[in-house]
Amino acid sequence: MTISDAKSDPGGDDRDSEIAKETELVFLRNRVKELEVENAKLLSQVSSCQCQQMEVKHDRSLSDSSSLVRRRRVRKGDKNSIPSHLISKRYVALKIMYFGKRFYGFSAEAQMEPSIESEVFKALERTRLLVGDKKDSCYSRCGRTDKGVSSTGQVIALFLRSRLKSPPGDSKAQVNGRTGERPEYDYVRVLNRALPDDIRVIGWSPAPIDFHARFSCYAREYKYFFWRQNLNLSAMDFAGKKFIGEHDFRNFCKMDVANVHCYTRRVTFFEVSPCQNSHEGDQLCTFTMRGSAFLWHQIRCMVAVLFMIGQGVESVDVIDTLLDTKKTPRKPQYLLASEIPLVLRTCEFENVDFICSPGAAESLRSHFKNESLTYQLESVIYQEALRNCLPLSNNVSTEESSCNGVEKKKKRAEHVPLLSRPTEPSYEERTAKLKPRKEETLACVV
């Protein structure tokens, strides 16, 4: 090209430089994309490695109870914490035993502590079996036993940490318990080492995703223990058999009209039977009641009326009268039977088989035996105190014990027949009273 040609085309060098720049820019963009892909792969490998290392640490901590219970909780934002969606978990049903005397019922929702439920979740958090929080665990319980009531077969269900490597949606793997070569965590043994002495997990079972501890239960069985004394067992058994079948039990419960609108329940079994235990010639007996579900305080109301029949102050026919809600729409006022002797014995489900490892089962037997011996020792101490009580004549003077030559005796309250007592408001009266409150609440919200 001559000088004259160059002068005739002054923009040629500029176009060449622009083309070079565009080529270099395309190369750099492609290189950045390649580096981003490589960086993502490296981050994935690092995350996977950390998860495996942390999982091994969790496995070791769960297998060693002493280090498990003392292990520090991972704080939010801790660089060693694993996102919950990366943790293997499975849906599990737990069978729980508890001695209810010192607890304010099973449920923690009443905000009265201690409760059995709050103690169970403390143990789940300490053992790090709980993934996330209670809301994330799809938690359900079979029943809400009241303050002082015990259980040998309460059931709860929730997601727990697992060695299971199948995807969370693989329900068949969760039910069949495929865990590869590694065995599943011994949930019974691990949790019992973190629970107080009066609460124990006695079994666990894999559960399908649609399992619900309350609504999947088809039968519940209660036992109520009592001393025979002078009670008429045959009359109570005959009267108790009248509960069998489907009835409206609104006169045998505490009505909660805000949440419960149907008071019909089915009782499938009732029996009065003596136990093997006795004390100073007095026989320990039990009521056994079985049904699909029970109302609030239903068992204790039924037992209270049966005791009146056993004492001979009420007729067996009073059961029929109280079950006839058209004839008796309002519940007579009467005291509940004590809550301490009441036990939720078992909750039954289809296709749920609870298991317990041999080691955990042996620990449970040893624990229950030791606790039983401890309570027997306490009973012996009370018996010794009873024997050491001073005679009444040594504590009470003649002037205090008699008046005009007649010994003072505490008058026994006369029994008022149930059907002659003041009554509580009927269901219809309660709901009518509740409607204005709901309207006021809605008006305040609006």
Given 14, 16, 136, 146, the catalytic residue: 146
Question: Treating both helix axes as pointing N-terminal to C-terminal, what angle do 233-240 and 298-310 enclose, rounded to 10 degrees?
Answer: 140
Strands, DSSP E only, in 116-172?
A: 140-141, 150-161
**How deeply is 342 buried, as exposed, middle or buried, from its count of CB atoms within 10 A (0-12, 13-18, 19+)?**
buried
- Between β-strands 342-348 and 150-161, what pairing exists: parallel, antiparallel or unpaired? parallel
Q: What is the SS3 string spanning 58-123?
A: HHHHHHCHHHHHHCCCCCCCCCCCCCHHHCCEEEEEEEEEECHHHCCCCCCCCCCCCCHHHHHHHH
The dihedral over CA atoms of 297, 300, 301, 304, expressed in degrees to the nearest 10, equals -160
Helical residues (DSSP H) of 64-130, grouped into ranges: 65-70, 116-126
Pair of tokens at residue 117: 């439920």
Cα gap 114→150, rounded to integer Å:
14
Contact residues for 372 (Cβ-Cβ < 8 A; gap 6+): none
Cα gap 354→177, rounded to integer Å:
13
Cα gap 268→378, rounded to integer Å:
37
Report whether 418 contacts 305 (CB < 8 A): yes
Catalytic-residue membership of 146: yes
Helical residues (DSSP H) of 115-211, grouped into ranges: 116-126, 171-176, 187-192
Report whether 307 contacts 231 (CB < 8 A): yes
Cα–Cα nearest to 307, from 381, 255, 392, 231: 231
Beta bridge partners, 266, equal 246
Which DSSP state fits 104? S
Q: What are the φ and ψ backbone dihedral angles of 41, each rounded to 5 degrees?
A: -65, -45
Pair of tokens at residue 415: 């029994």
Beta bridge partners, 291, equal 220, 267
| Cis amide leading into 114 (omega within 30) | yes
Type of residue numbered 58: H
Report in angstroms the alpha-carbon separations of 371 from 192, 358, 365, 376.
14, 20, 10, 9
Report in angstroms the alpha-carbon separations of 229 from 72, 222, 279, 316.
54, 22, 11, 19
State the catalytic residues.
Answer: 146
